[in-house]
A and B are shown apart, each in its own frame.
Chain A
Amino acid sequence: MSVSKLGYVGGLMLIILMLVAFSMTLYEMLIRARFDLPGAFVQASMLVLLTFLVLLIVRYLALLWFSYLSHLDDDESDDQPLPLVSVLVPAYNEGTVIQGSIRSLLELDYPRYEVLVIDDGSTDDTTQRARAFEGDHGRAKVRVIRKLNGGKANALNTGIASARGVFILCMDGDSTLEPQTLRKAVRHFTNPRVGAVAGSVKVVNRTNMLSTLQALEYVEGLNMVRAAQGFFRLVNIIPGPIGIFRRSALESVAGYDDDTFAEDCDLTLKLLVNGWQVKYEPGAIAYTEAPEKLLDLLKQRYRWTRGILQAISKHKRRLVTPHRGFGICFTLWYMIFEGILWPSMNVFAHVLFVFIAARYGTALPLMLWFAQLTVLDLAAALYCVAVEEESISLVPYAVLYRAFFALTIDVAKLLATIEEMLKLRMDWGKLDRIGRI
């Protein structure tokens, strides 16, 4: 990290500390508000929520701190050998975006790489559009593989089998990459225990409120968490739009499984279970389209939620065997906290506070809860836009994020979790691409 950036981040850290101190005051007010409320149920519920809030505050502080350390820990040398890298682009009906995606790949700043487009039985013109780029392009060679439809995991396994690179970058057909991505990611592999590197995903289509809120969420909710986990080499989800793998690591876990709806999360957990380290590289950037309509967003989150729960379930034995690997055990418990406990508690808190407002005529606990979380979100957003060199204009969206977005997503997560527990049938539910890549 450069000295000027360190100063910038350091200054923001001061503001962040002030915000965190303010959140402590709000917490104290919430404790006092609790004593004004009658009823054993309300009292007990408030006690549970206050305990949970302590966990949340610790979570925010820990993520901020370890994410900061992770950025300071950027000691990988740029003078590393640059072996052949295979870039896998699985595509199913990506006709509107595939050419933009390949075009961005041909501009990568890397001496030798191949691009493999795996057309997973598309029924549109994906193959024809991709084949227009087939052949040698100087540093890069493009190949197109067409196969029968079998799903993303299946397509990626096909790509892995025919890839020639020592390292393999897996991405989505609707993503584009920053030119420095391969150079930045590959240098982490000088450590032979590093099996994969998760990149940073950013939203490309910030065209309406919903997609802009997702842009903030990707930076604050996803990348900050990955940066903190990266400090311990324990990133728990290598995102679908950008993951760089050591070929031998992929082979040691037999590639992607197709028995969950979150194959990226499942593969990451398999790597961690098998003793590989997984790092995060903020300079390896993929731009992706975020859903611009609420129902499409819910569809995406429904799949993510159930897929992640399925992946956790596959490795549930590791939840109770910390002696076989504390890192993976902690990671799984953390995923349960983020995936089940937090959404459930947030929805429960809001319903309880609405009940208190209706029954006892005070909305003060609700306001304090909202203010508490908003202040923490603002602190995290401030920090994240600084270290990720994002637009500062994203920060005020933290208020709307907490007021509407997070609650809506948490309700969807909770309902999807219930469906997963009831083992209700689901299918892939591919999103329609908008074509802004």
Chain B
Amino acid sequence: MDLVPYLSAVILVSTIATILLAVLSYAAFKLRDKRRPKSNSDAPVFFHRYQLEQVAADEGSAAANEESPVADEDGKGE
């Protein structure tokens, strides 16, 4: 029995299904992303060289805000 036509048909069907699923999933991802609350920062980002004094200042302000969580100012995270 020649398996090639059957295998070809299976791969054809799975390929069509995968392409459709991939495009639909991408659309769903974009839609979900759009519905997420947007960050309010449109400002361009620039590189800052951090110095120890800067870190100390950040640590100081963080300590001051210890009891009240810091607001997510521009929506960035890791």
Residues of chain A whose beta carbon lies under 8 Å from any beta carbon of chain B: 90-94, 119-124, 127, 145-155, 157-158, 160-162, 172-173, 254-259, 294-295, 298-299, 302, 347, 350-351, 353-354, 357, 362-364, 366-367, 370, 403-404, 407-408, 411-412, 415, 427-430
Residues of chain B whose beta carbon lies under 8 Å from any beta carbon of chain A: 4, 7-9, 11-12, 14-16, 18-19, 21-23, 25-26, 28-29, 32-33, 38-39, 44-52, 54-55, 58-59, 61-63, 66, 69-78
Which chain A positions have C-beta within 8 A of B47?
153, 254, 256-259
Which chain B positions have C-beta within 8 A of A357?
8, 12
Q: Given that A145-B59, A354-B12, A367-B8 are contacting pairs, would A151 and B19 also be in contact in the complex, using a CB cutoff of 8 Å?
A: no
Q: Given that A121-B72, A149-B72, A427-B75 are contacting pairs, would A366 and B8 also be in contact in the complex, using a CB cutoff of 8 Å?
A: yes
Say whether B8 contacts A364, CB under 8 Å. Answer: yes
Which chain A positions have C-beta within 8 A of B19?
347, 350-351, 354, 407, 411
By beta carbon, the residue of chain B nearest A125 is B69
Which chain A positions have C-beta within 8 A of B14?
403-404
Q: CA of A147 to CA of B15 in the docked complex: distance in angstroms?
A: 48
Which chain A positions have C-beta within 8 A of B38?
427
Return A166 CB to nearest CB of chain B, in Å. 17
Q: Which of A123, A254, A362 makes the CB contact (< 8 A) with B72? A: A123
> How many Cβ-Cβ contacts under 8 Å join chain A to chain B?
168
Q: Which of B4, B44, B50, B77 makes the CB contact (< 8 A) with A93? A: B77
Which chain B positions have C-beta within 8 A of A362?
8
Return A272 CB to nearest CB of chain B, in Å. 18
Q: Given that A122-B69, A154-B48, A173-B78 are contacting pairs, would A404 and B18 also be in contact in the complex, using a CB cutoff of 8 Å?
A: yes
Q: CA of A172 to CA of B39 in the docked complex: distance in angstroms?
A: 23
Say whether A411 contacts B26, CB under 8 Å. Answer: yes
Say whether B21 contacts A408, CB under 8 Å. Answer: yes
Q: CA of A151 to CA of B75 in the docked complex: distance in angstroms?
A: 8
25 CB contacts below 8 A, A to B, read A91-B78, A92-B76, A120-B78, A121-B72, A121-B73, A123-B72, A147-B59, A149-B70, A149-B76, A149-B77, A151-B74, A157-B48, A259-B46, A259-B47, A299-B29, A299-B33, A362-B8, A364-B4, A364-B8, A367-B7, A367-B8, A367-B12, A403-B14, A408-B21, A412-B26
Grouping DSSP codes into helix (H, G, I), strand (E, B) and loop, the B interface class, with mixed when no group exceeds half, is helix
Q: CA of A347 to CA of B49 in the docked complex: distance in angstroms?
A: 42
Max chain B CB contacts within 10 Å: which of A92, A124, A157, A366? Answer: A157
Which chain B positions have C-beta within 8 A of A408?
18, 21-22, 25
Say whether B18 contacts A403, CB under 8 Å. Answer: yes
Which chain A positions have C-beta within 8 A of B66?
127, 146
Which chain B positions have C-beta within 8 A of A294?
25
Q: Given that A172-B78, A354-B12 are contacting pairs, would A151 and B73 also be in contact in the complex, using a CB cutoff of 8 Å?
A: no
Say whether A363 contacts B78, CB under 8 Å. Answer: no
Which chain A positions have C-beta within 8 A of B50?
154, 157-158, 160-161, 255
Which chain A positions have C-beta within 8 A of B72?
121, 123, 149
By beta carbon, the residue of chain B nearest A433 is B78
Q: CA of A260 to CA of B4 in the docked complex: distance in angstroms?
A: 47
